Amino acid sequence: MRGYQRFSTVKQMSGGMGVFVVLALLLESGGLVNWAQRLELGPERTCALPLVMALHRGVGWMGLEGLRSDAIVELARIGWSDDPEAIAKAREASSAVPEVASASPGSVPKTPPPTMKAKVRVTPTPRLPLQPLVGDPPLLSVLPKIPGVRPGRTRTVALVGDSMMAVGLSSTLLRESPKYEDLELVKVFKSGSGLARPEVFDWQTEYPAMLGAVRPDVVLVAIGANDGQGFVEDGVTYEFGSAEWVAMYERRVEAFLALLEAGGATVVWVELPPMESDAYDARIALINRIDYAVVKSSRKAVWYSTAGLVGDADGQFKAYGEVYGTMARLRKQDGIHLSDDGAVLVAAKLLPWLASQQSSAQIPSRARKLAEP
């Protein structure tokens, strides 16, 4: 049977591709706008955005975008989608009584309650930094005592952030946490996110939806790896590292910290570790300084340094280190993320500390061993 084979000429193929391109542009004009808005600032975005915006406006009368967004919301309603934003829209659309999602280990509830809305927004106009930057964070942190939880109740810890939390650190924390009693970890991170580009991923709206009914006692946050870039707000471009950029970013960090603390949680801000690339490391160092200044100005938030744990004696990047007496690679091959072994060094201090806030007697012996230097 050869009937399934058909050969076409270049001309015929061009016709087919032409139909595809035209239809794809019509059907996906809204998606293309989203895509262009998320591009890094630069020539590609500068060229693409006006084009796709014009296309989107031009085909708006056809109502195809409504079809697409309705389909996404409907898919969320029937449980196909896992996109918190779509789920929230579906719930709003259906006006059904929201069910209370129970937090299960290692999963994010899919049904955000409508009550928890972001109350803190970034000030649209940047001013000078609210407080002068207090310098580089220390190589090592002294972790203070944080409020305990009632006996018999688990301490809920939300793991928040971008891929600095998602890759290496979160999986290690989740794997190690069963060694500690009464500690429940909940994943609320999103790779590829950050605070510099809310049009890409807006933590102010996404975080409540991702958190759902969970009320964390502690929030561990590692974020900012994607923020070493300029951004546009209200049509104004802020170049990375400029005074205006620093001011704007500091306010976003403040707003984010306020959001995390809004439910009464203690926020533990995990420092971004030293990076292999010098240029990138310099950008991350600035972000760390801003984060550190904001955290220091908070009465409740705790700063957790990593440079002394996974860096060398000067807090600079190192690829290898000693983990449980054995040489191990501390970082992923990208020179950015923590490897599982590197994350063990970070978790080794954090988890016993979180567990010890209840009662040192409750720390199992294996956990104590982990906590030992």
Partner 1 sequence: MRGSWSDIILRLMCGFPAYGARSDRAVDGEEGADAEIGQGGGGIALEYAHVLRLQESLAVSLSLSFRSSGCARSMLFPTVEYAVFFLVVLAIAWPLAKYVTVRKIFLLLASYVFYGLWSWRYVPLLILVSLFAAVMAQAIQRSGDTQRRRRVLVVGVAGCLLVLAYYKYTSFVLLSAMGLWGLVGRAPVWNLPAPFLPLGISFFVFHAISLLGDVYREKLREDLHLLDALLYVAFFPQLIAGPILRASKFIPQLMRPCDATKIRVNRAFLLILAGLFKKVIISNTLATRLVQPVFAAPADFHRGDVLLAIYGYAAEIYCDFSGYTDIATGCAMLLGYRFPRNFNAPYTATDPRDFWQRWHISLSTWLRDYLYIPLGGSRKGTASTYANLMITMLLGGLWHGASWTFVMWGGLQGVFLVGHRVWAGSSSGAVLRLRGRVWWPWVSRVLMFHAVCLGWVFFRSPTFGVADTMLHQLGVSGGATLASWPVVVTLAIGIFGQYAPRMWRRGVEAMMARLPVGVNGLVLALGVFVIEVLGPTGVAPFIYFQF
Q: Are the C-beta atoms of 270 and 220 separated by less than 8 Å?
A: yes
Q: Are the C-beta atoms of 291 and 302 separated by less than 8 Å?
A: no
Min dist. Cβ of residue 68 to partner 1 (A): 6
d(C-alpha 355, C-alpha 256), whole Å: 25
Cβ proximity to partner 1, 37 vs 297, nearer residue: 37
Backbone φ and ψ of 323, nearest 5°: -125, 120
Min dist. Cβ of residue 12 to partner 1 (A): 4
Cβ proximity to partner 1, 194 vs 212, nearer residue: 194
Number of residues written out for the chain: 373
Min dist. Cβ of residue 312 to partner 1 (A): 6
Q: Provide long-range contacts, Cβ within 8 A and 24+ apart, for 137-141.
A: 137/271, 137/288, 137/289, 137/292, 137/303, 137/305, 137/307, 138/305, 138/308, 139/305, 139/307, 139/308, 139/311, 139/315, 140/305, 140/308, 140/309, 141/302, 141/303, 141/304, 141/305
Measure the N-to-C terminal CA separation of the chain; round to a whole number of Å.
71
d(C-alpha 324, C-alpha 370), whole Å: 9
Cβ proximity to partner 1, 105 vs 147, nearer residue: 105
Cβ proximity to partner 1, 127 vs 334, nearer residue: 334
Min dist. Cβ of residue 200 to partner 1 (A): 5
Cβ proximity to partner 1, 53 vs 328, nearer residue: 328
Min dist. Cβ of residue 185 to partner 1 (A): 8
Min dist. Cβ of residue 258 to partner 1 (A): 22
What stretch of H or E contains 227? none
Q: Are the C-beta atoms of 244 and 278 separated by less than 8 Å?
A: no
Q: Are the C-beta atoms of 221 and 269 separated by less than 8 Å?
A: yes
- The single-letter code of the amino acid at 311 is G
CA angle 113, 119, 122 (to 5 degrees): 130
Cβ proximity to partner 1, 295 vs 330, nearer residue: 330
Min dist. Cβ of residue 271 to partner 1 (A): 15
Cβ proximity to partner 1, 142 vs 279, nearer residue: 279
